[in-house]
Structure 1
Amino acid sequence: MARGQKQYTEEFKNTIVHLYNSGKSLAELSSEYALSKSTISGWIKKNNPIVMDKDTTITMAEYQAMLKKNKQLEEEIEIFKKSYGHIRKEVTTVFEFITNNKKYHDIKLMCKVLKVSRSSYYKYLNKKPSNRELENAKIEKEIINIHKASKKRYGAVKINESLKALGINISLKRTQRLMRKLGIKSIIIKKYRPTSSKSKIKEQENVLKRDFNATTINEKWVTDITYIHTIKDGWCYLASVMDLYSRKIIGYAMSKSIDTTLALQAVKNAIKLQKPNKPLILHSDLGCQYTSSAFKEYINSIKIITHSFSGKGCPYDNACIESFHASLKKEEVHLVNYFDYDAARLAVFEYIEAWYNRKRIHSSIGYLTPQKCEDLARKIA
């Protein structure tokens, strides 16, 4: 392998192939995961899966035809859902809906689904809008694009920052007003409140001391484990490692068991990806996975790592990774009932790799994405 070439785990490669076979194009995968099309094609050729169930084997062409048909039906349902607040009002609001959504749906199809004539709609379009209306219409389109791209996760503050990045400098109040007009808002989920542990825990040294600032990447890492429920397999567990400078999730692992192996695998994946060569702090809580002899032996074998621990009953000592897991729950996990472990693992993969690391902007790093923040740090180094 050429020096400096990125390495990917087999799990990562297999998941990319799975996403391709599920309907994503080479262009989408290349854009979302920063991979070349030739690399993805090579992985696909090696795997070359056949879609089948227990009793039936179908060709990939037949499978794609099924997806296309389902997509058409889903689009009609999506139009009904999105237009619900408009079809109960005067006809002009229906026309506004069609105008605001013509980038996403065919006008003829929307008129058919919403039972309005195309001639009436085009007559409505001939009405000359004011400059303010024209400006608002342009901004509303961008708000819809940003909101949809974030899978409805962004609220007014982040949408306002995203608009500024596009050169649209409007007030937060105006952004909020336009969002109310469009009937869109951030997904709101009740926060999870953990219960306190009554088990006896031996205190360890807290080297980090809630200093979450870093001067560059691979200087301070934090790690933790969270729970994800599935219908078939019950509880599954995710261990994550975050770089405090970029807020990027640099290592993670999932398992049906919560043990030291899980915690270690996440750290090993981070080391494999980042290849740190200078002293760094790895901070965790006092969970048995992180205080075990096996974990301690591994950390000691990596000479440059100093292990730091949160105080007993002090979740704020590890607030950044706790915040990431809270966002994961609020923006993804709590919105879906996963059938089994594999479904949960795929959803977490997409959330971290395609959304959180590469698209989700963070106020703590100047409204950059974690990947962009890391890329800039590597250029300076």
Structure 2
Amino acid sequence: MTYLPTQVQGRWYYLYLIQDLYSRKIVGWEIHEADDADHAVSLLKRTALSEGIHAMSDKPVLHGDNGSTLKATTVLAMLHWLGVKPSYSRPRVSDDNAFVESLFKTAKYRPEFPARGFATLEDARLWGCDFVHWYNFEHRHSGIRYVTPAQRHALEDRAILAARHQTYLQARERHPARWSRGTRDWTPIGAVTLNPEREAVVRNHVHAEDIGPLAA
């Protein structure tokens, strides 16, 4: 959740947002006049329905900050009902929710974001609708090899990146003098972790899957 300024000093609107860590896609969002756990519950339920959480054998984990909203009894009850495990940022660890924080910064530095704040709640929601559409379907995200979050979420990124790789190889073949090194790396991004120090854990897990389970 992040604050959106209004044109009234001391008054804010509240953007509730859920981002898929793997694809970077915004899978759920709402904007309200007040910070209330009921809004978070509504967003969780709606997002779970749209993403088909009930049919997943491996349920996702919902990571958020240590705010009271995400720890409210009603929110925890909804997560339990959905089979989703909650996760929270560690105290004084700034990069525990770095992906969403980066997204919020992108949103607030877009030229469409009003420098003097939003006049009405309707204005804020219209801006949110436009931003989410741009971010999901038009924004070529540098962290996922310049495909859109929607393309990666739909598992279309591998075919797109393979086609780009072939285009670069053909360009180098036609004009070899222009290439002093290899072509750009268009290998799809693999596993994504919240914290850099956990990457070794992911690598070991992937390696263990490649060689099969270990027997004691």
When normalised by structure 1's length, the TM-score is: 0.38
What is the match of residue 250 of structure 1? 27
What is the match of residue 88 of structure 2? 309
Whichever structure has more helix as a proportion of its residues is: 1
1:333 and 1:313, CA in 2 relative to 1: closer, same or farther beyond 3 A? farther
1:268 and 2:45 are equivalent in the alignment: yes
Q: CA deviation at 1:300?
A: 0.7
1:328 and 1:238, CA in 2 relative to 1: closer, same or farther beyond 3 A? same
**What CA distance in whole angstroms lies between the structure 2 residues aligned with 1:379 and 1:265?**
34
> AA paired with 2:42?
Q
> AA paired with 1:322?
E
1:166-177 pair list within 5 angstroms: none
1:1-381 pair list within 5 angstroms: 225-231=1-7, 234-276=11-53, 277=56, 278-303=58-83, 305-331=84-110, 332-335=112-115, 337-353=117-133, 355-376=134-155
**Retained in 2: the 8 A contact 1:285–1:310?**
yes
1:356 and 1:255, CA in 2 relative to 1: closer, same or farther beyond 3 A? same
**Retained in 2: the 8 A contact 1:285–1:318?**
yes
**What CA distance in whole angstroms lies between the structure 1 residues aligned with 2:30 and 2:158?**
28
The structure with the largest alpha-carbon Rg is 1
Per-residue CA shift, 1:321-379, capped at 9, x if unaligned? Answer: 111111111114354642111111111111112x1110001111110001111122599
1:251 and 1:293, CA in 2 relative to 1: closer, same or farther beyond 3 A? same
Figure out how many residues of one structure are paired with residues of the other and give that number.
Answer: 154
- What secondary structure sits across from 1:338 in the alignment? coil
Gaps (5+ residues) in structure 2?
Answer: 160-216
Identity %: 28
- What secondary structure sits across from 1:286 in the alignment? coil
Which protein, 1 or 2, shows the higher relative CO under an 8 Å CA cutoff with sep ≥ 6? Answer: 2
Gaps (5+ residues) in structure 1?
Answer: 1-224
**Retained in 1: the 8 A contact 2:6–2:118?**
yes
**Retained in 1: the 8 A contact 2:2–2:104?**
yes
**Retained in 2: the 8 A contact 1:253–1:265?**
no
